[in-house]
Structures are given as structure tokens and as C-alpha cells.
């Protein structure tokens, strides 16, 4: 009986939220490709949620096969003239096409149409995230606290730098700090990076040099992560805690800001890995996403939608990386084609797609190892 309960909890508590989040993000991404491709006059052969064997499906009046596949870790849109789900051209099929067929194929479309179709997937992801964040802000408002120091932790970087309770942090490295959240967002991704704080102390501007300490924190679900901390906090008395009511336009602006922060944080994390400032073991794969989905689902639908928005931005950004088989790799090929006045050679594309697929598979294996390695620790 306990085994049945455990299986039920796993399916309902973890897998169901994970599939809801991932399916939403993947569907929106692929729908971006599908809609723009159709608008550009390109024939769509398959729209699939998931990979592998088809579970259920149907053909629409345009001849597109809509399918739900067995492996729910992504999806794809296959256009007329594509060899596979990664939209590698089927050169043999293209060579055998007549002019009418070529005009409806993806490889035969104008390069700008192909670029627009490819870019539409990541753009759709960004739009989804912006809209989810905007709706959340319009419903719940925006919690705000002034960047005023209420407490300085003993033996912290802030104490050693001479920060005092009552200091108002107005800027860090010349970047204005409007609210306390601005301080947190600037400091946490920069452990062991010296920065200069400008504080208002009794009406006087004071410059303070400080280096956030690398610290391990644990969230409410027990997940551990390394961040930069300086050891200051605020409270309701001096921080003037409040919730701002936002109109639709203001909510949309905050949605854009939240999405941009995720992109900037992702770029910063990758950069920190390259220079050795952060460890790659914080990179999670599908198992980690499933675990987090189950945890966040316990907080309610709104929290799960916000997780979907975060994941949507991440997938949109990662798809724009210039790696063959990803959307960004295709866009690089199209940029070269525009400059050269002709497509990249068949052999070069074939090799590039194989290299790109190898890189993606290695990244997936590495991320999955990060997910499961704690089980053997």
C-alpha cells in the first residue's frame, strides 16, 4: 500500500506539475514556429509535443499531423523539406522538388522568411513570460521595500566595510538602487567580486568598497545554492514595506524587467562558470526541473505559472545560443547566407548539425548527472 501511495505522490505531486509546465512552454515555443511559418507560406508537416513514438494524433485540413509523442521532454515542428526534427534540410528531397513544391518548402523559402520562422519560437517564449509576469503584477501588485539598512550581521562583509544601520544604499558600481530588491539582485550573482556602494548616511554621500562573500543558502524546500552575500537586511520599520498597485501598462513594464533579469542572470551565470567564479554543478536538468515543479506546485497555481515563465525565458534564451540544431545556430547560418549571397554548403551544414547535436547531448548528460549525483553522495 505504501508503494502505491508513493507512486501516486510521485505522479500527481511531481510529474503532473512538471508536465503541465513543460508542455505549456514547449507548446508556445513550437506554436511560434508554426504560426510564422504558416504566415510565410511554408507547409507544415508535423507539430509534435514530445519526441519518439506517437501516442495520439490527427491530421488537420492543411495536411499537418498534430501529435502527442511518448517522450515529453520537448517538441518540434517539421516543415516540408526538413530531414528531421532539428530542421536540417533534406537535400535529396529538395533536389527532387518542382518549383511549386520548392516555394512551399522550408529550404526553398526566402532567407528572411526562414529567419523569421526560426526566431519566432524563442520570441514566443519571451512573450509568454512577459505576459505571465504582467498578469501576476496586475493581480497581486509589486511588493517594495526601500534600500535602507536595518541590520548589519556581525562579522559580515558589511560590518568589515563599515556599513551602519540607517544607511541608504543609493547605488552600486554606479547603478541606481531604487528598492532593496535591486540590491539583492545585484549582489547575489557576484560572490567574491569587489564592488563600490554609494550610501546616504545622514544626508552625506559615502563611498564604501565591499566584497560579497560566497555563501551557501537553503531555500524553503531544502535546495542549496551558492550566492554572494554582504550581510545586510531591512525590516518593515525602516524599509517602508508596501505593495504597489500597478496598471496594465506598468505591469507590462515590470514583466519585461523580470524577463530581462532572468536573461541577464543566465548570461552572468554562464560567464561566471567560464571564469571559475561559479560552479557548473548548479546547472540542472529535467529531473531537477521536475523536482522544483513539484515543490512550487505546493504554493499554488500562481507560483507554478511563474515557474513556467522563468523556464520559458530560459528555454527561449538557450535556443538562441549559436549552436547548430538550436534556433540560434540556424540564425547564424542565415546570417552567413545573407552576407555570402548563397546558403552554407551541404557538407558544412551536415557536419555542423552533428557537432551541435553532440554538444547538446553532452550538456543534457552533464545536467542530468548534476541532478542525480546527490543521490550517490
So which residues are the catalytic ones?
30
Helices (H), 218-345: 236-239, 248-274, 286-297, 301-319, 327-340
Taking the CA atoms of 24, 29, 34 and 39 in sequence, report the sign of the dihedral they define. positive
Buried b (16+ CB within 10 A) or exposed e, 212-241: bbebeeeeeeeeeeebbbbbbebeeebbee
The answer to whether residues 307 and 129 touch, using CB atoms and an 8 Å cutoff, is: no
What angle, rounded to 10 degrees, do the helices at 111-140 and 327-340 form? 140
If one counts every other C-beta atom within 10 angstroms of the C-beta of residue 253, the result is: 15
Element (H, E) at 242: strand 242-244
Amino acid at each position: 500500500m505504501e508503494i502505491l501511495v508513493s507512486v501516486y505522490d510521485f505522479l500527481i505531486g511531481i510529474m503532473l506539475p512538471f508536465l503541465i509546465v513543460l508542455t505549456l512552454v514547449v507548446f508556445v515555443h513550437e506554436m511560434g514556429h508554426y504560426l510564422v511559418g504558416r504566415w510565410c507560406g511554408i507547409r507544415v508537416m508535423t507539430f509534435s509535443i514530445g519526441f519518439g513514438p506517437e501516442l495520439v494524433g490527427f491530421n488537420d485540413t492543411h495536411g499537418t499531423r498534430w501529435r502527442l509523442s511518448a517522450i515529453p521532454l520537448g517538441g518540434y515542428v517539421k516543415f516540408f523539406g526538413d530531414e528531421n526534427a532539428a530542421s536540417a534540410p533534406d537535400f535529396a528531397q529538395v533536389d527532387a522538388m518542382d518549383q511549386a513544391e520548392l516555394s512551399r518548402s522550408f529550404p526553398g523559402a526566402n532567407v528572411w522568411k526562414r529567419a523569421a520562422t526560426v526566431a519566432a519560437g524563442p520570441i514566443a517564449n519571451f512573450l509568454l513570460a512577459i505576459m505571465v509576469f504582467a498578469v501576476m503584477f496586475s493581480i497581486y501588485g509589486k511588493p517594495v521595500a526601500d534600500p535602507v539598512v536595518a541590520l548589519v550581521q556581525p562579522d559580515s562583509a558589511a560590518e568589515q566595510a563599515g556599513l551602519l544601520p540607517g544607511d541608504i544604499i543609493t547605488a552600486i558600481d554606479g547603478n541606481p538602487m531604487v528598492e532593496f530588491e535591486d540590491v539583492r539582485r545585484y549582489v547575489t550573482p557576484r560572490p567574491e567580486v569587489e564592488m563600490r556602494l554609494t550610501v546616504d548616511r545622514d544626508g552625506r554621500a559615502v563611498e564604501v568598497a565591499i566584497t560579497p562573500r560566497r555563501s551557501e543558502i537553503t531555500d524553503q524546500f531544502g535546495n542549496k545554492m551558492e550566492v554572494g552575500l554582504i550581510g545586510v537586511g531591512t525590516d518593515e520599520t525602516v524599509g517602508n514595506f508596501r505593495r504597489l498597485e500597478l496598471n496594465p501598462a506598468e505591469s507590462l513594464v515590470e514583466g519585461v524587467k523580470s524577463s530581462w533579469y532572468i536573461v541577464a542572470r543566465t548570461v552572468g551565470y554562464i560567464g561566471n562558470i567560464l571564469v571559475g567564479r561559479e560552479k557548473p554543478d548548479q546547472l540542472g536538468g529535467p529531473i531537477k526541473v521536475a523536482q522544483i515543479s513539484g515543490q512550487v506546485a505546493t504554493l499554488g497555481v500562481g507560483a507554478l505559472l511563474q515557474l513556467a515563465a522563468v523556464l520559458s525565458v530560459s528555454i527561449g534564451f538557450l535556443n538562441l545560443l549559436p549552436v547548430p540544431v538550436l534556433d540560434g545556430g540556424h540564425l547564424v547560418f542565415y546570417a552567413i547566407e545573407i552576407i555570402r549571397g548563397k546558403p552554407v554548403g551541404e557538407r558544412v551544414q551536415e557536419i555542423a548539425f552533428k557537432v551541435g547535436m553532440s554538444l547538446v547531448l553532452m550538456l543534457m548528460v552533464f545536467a542530468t548527472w548534476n541532478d542525480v549525483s546527490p543521490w550517490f553522495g
